[in-house]
């Protein structure tokens, strides 16, 4: 009688490595204003961070808005 071996799915390697305490990644949305001010907000969902940055970019007061992964 043969048994089938299940292949384990390999998770994408991140900067966190195999830290099992972390259950999610953090994404920081940073908004740079034309007057030199800076504002940042951290999200656990990349889509929410990207939507926040896109929404802020529509303002004429915003110079740039970026989303980066933080540890």
Tell me, yes or no, whether 6 lies in a domain.
no
- Whether pTM > 0.75 for this model: the answer is no
Domain enclosing residue 58, as ranges: 26-70
**pLDDT range class, residue 24, cuts 50, 70, 90:** confident
Q: Give me the pLDDT at residue 12, please.
A: 67
| pLDDT exceeds 80 at position 44 | yes
Q: Give me the pLDDT at residue 17, please.
A: 66
Question: How many structural domains does the chain have?
Answer: 1
Better-predicted residue by pLDDT, 56 or 1: 56
Mean pLDDT value of segment 7-22: 67
Count of alpha carbons within 13 angstroms of residue 69, beta-carbon side: 7
């Amino acid at each position: 009688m043969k048994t089938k071996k299940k292949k384990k799915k390999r998770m994408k390697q991140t900067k966190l490595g195999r830290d099992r305490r972390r259950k999610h990644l953090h994404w920081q949305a940073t908004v740079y204003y034309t007057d030199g001010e800076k504002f940042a907000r951290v999200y656990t969902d990349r889509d929410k961070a990207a939507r926040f940055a896109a929404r802020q970019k529509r303002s004429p007061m915003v110079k740039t808005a970026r989303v980066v992964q933080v540890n």
